[in-house]
Amino acid sequence: MDFIEILFTAGFWAATLRIATPLIFGTLGELVCERAGVLNLGIEGIMTMGAMSGWMWVYMGGDLVSGILFAAFIGMLFGLLHSLFAVYLGLSQHVAGIGITMLASSLSYFVFRMLLPTATTPPKIDPFQSYPIPGLSDLPYVGTPLFTQTPMTYGAFVVVLVVWYVLYSTPVGLAVRMTGENPIAAEAQGIDVLAVRTGAVVVGSGLMSVGGAFLTMSAFDAFYFGMVNGRGWICVALVIFASWNPGKALLGALLFAGIDAWQVRVQQLPGINIPYQFFLMAPYVLSIVAMIVMSRRALYPKALLVPFRRGERT
């Protein structure tokens, strides 16, 4: 087996989709916020919160599906908090977002320790199991990697379609894009800019939170400290990589996940004398390269980072 052969194994493709799942949720969540003109750097913390709250719900006796809904709800609350600062008060979106990340991450660990003070090894839950789609999972080559995933991975792909449809084919999607491009024009058309932005941030934060919940409820079965491990920041970069387009966001997430899955496997090849840290670096280095190439043509939302204050002279 060599570098290239890895790409033809079912295990590689299955891992790519699995690694991509939280990134897809997170990137779409961030994309929805930014399309409305609001940068949400709370993403890293909101994903941590989602990972903790969804897991805790199940650990306390809830079922998996309601656990996801609970994680989404908690994420939306933090989205509401971000909107209060960044939308209604028109404060710096960077500062508010970083603040949300610090608050939500720390609060996750705090609540976890409060509720489980004595646990030394992280307790486990029964996570989502892979669900082979009848018929499709028996297809040669693609059956195992594509159609023998957990329900949340299928869900991620469905969410891409939903976000794409809503953004481009419904009045509310048009309103979201307009408030991200030119909020003054949107207001002149009778749109309540603050409400639309808040709605987008709340929904986007819910999606991020579900991305975090995937980690504890599907990929793994326990909550660890630091388990989101920068995935939120990767999502912020992927939104730029994707030029704020949901389809390209999916591609970007798959590309990043693919490189990650590949490097893990290359590390284990016999006779490789390169320090493994270089392989760990690979996805990040390649994302930076891809970003430089892709984002030069990026059509960013014109009003991104621009607070909208009603009735002020412009």
Partner 1 sequence: MTAILKLVNISKRFGSLTANDAISLSLEEGEILALLGENGAGKTTLMNILFGHYTADEGHVEVFGKPLPPGQPDAALAAGIGMVHQHFSLADNLSVLENIMLGTESLWAWRQDTAFATGRIKQLSRDFGLTVDPMAQVSTLTVGERQRVEILKALYRDARILILDEPTAVLTPQESESLFETLRSLVDRGMSIIFISHKLNEIVSVSDRVMVIRRGKVVAEQPIRGADRASLAEAMVGHTVHAPKGDVLAPGDVVFQLQNVSAGAADGGQPLVDVDLAIHQHEIVGIAGVSGNGQQTLADLISGLCRPGSGSMTLFGNKLAHYNPDVMVKSGVGRIPEDRNRVGVIGEMTVQENLISEKRRRLPFSKFGFMNAKVIEDHAARQIDAFDVRCQGPHAETRLLSGGNVQKLILARVLDAEPSLLLADQPSRGLDVGAVAYVHEKILDARARGCGVLLISEDLEELMALSDRIVVIYHGRLSQPVNPEDITARDIGLMMSGQSEAA
Question: Does 191 contact partner 1 by CB under 8 A?
Answer: yes
Measured between alpha carbons, how far is 239 from 251 in angstroms, rounded to an integer? 11
CB of 93 to partner 1, least distance (A): 16
User: 203, 79 in Cβ contact below 8 A?
Assistant: yes
The SS3 call for residue 149 is strand
Number of residues that bind partner 1 (CB under 8 A): 26
Question: Does 178 contact partner 1 by CB under 8 A?
Answer: yes
Question: Does 260 contact partner 1 by CB under 8 A?
Answer: no
* Residue number with CB closer to partner 1 (106 or 170): 170
* Residue number with CB closer to partner 1 (165 or 224): 165
Measured between alpha carbons, how far is 146 from 223 in angstroms, rounded to an integer? 26
Among 1, 7, 184, 292, binds partner 1 (CB under 8 A): 184
Among 36, 38, 156, 175, binds partner 1 (CB under 8 A): 175
CB of 169 to partner 1, least distance (A): 6
Neighbouring residues of 212: CB distance < 8 A, sequence distance ≥ 6 = 22, 26, 46, 47, 48, 49, 50, 51, 52, 54, 71, 75, 228
Backbone angles phi, psi at 185, to 5 degrees: -65, -40
Contact letters for partner 1, residues 275-314 (x by CB under 8 A): ------------------------x-xx-------xx-xx
User: Residue 187 to residues 31, 73, 167: CA-CA distances in angstroms?
Assistant: 22, 29, 18
Question: By CB under 8 A, what part of segment 47-76 binds partner 1?
Answer: none
What is the gyration radius of the CA atoms in the chain, in angstroms?
20
The stretch among 4-12, 165-173, 271-279, 280-288 that binds partner 1 (CB under 8 A) is 165-173
Question: Does 170 contact partner 1 by CB under 8 A?
Answer: yes
CB of 19 to partner 1, least distance (A): 32
Among 177, 197, 231, 265, binds partner 1 (CB under 8 A): 177
Question: Does 194 contact partner 1 by CB under 8 A?
Answer: no
Question: Does 174 contact partner 1 by CB under 8 A?
Answer: yes
Helix (H) or strand (E) segment spanning residue 303: none
The stretch among 77-85, 142-150, 182-190, 280-288 that binds partner 1 (CB under 8 A) is 182-190
Q: Which residues of 185-212 are buried (b: 16+ CB within 10 A; e: fewer)?
A: ebbeeebebbebbbbbbbbbbbbbbbbb
The stretch among 61-69, 135-143, 181-189, 275-283 that binds partner 1 (CB under 8 A) is 181-189
Question: Does 171 contact partner 1 by CB under 8 A?
Answer: yes
* Residue number with CB closer to partner 1 (115 or 162): 162
Helix, strand counts (H, E) of the chain: 12, 2
**Nearest-CA neighbor of 214 among 274, 167, 257?**
257
Helix (H) or strand (E) segment spanning residue 58: helix 43-59
Question: Which spans of this chain sit near partner 1 (rule: CB under 8 A)?
Answer: 169-172, 174-175, 177-178, 181-182, 184-192, 299, 301-302, 310-311, 313-314
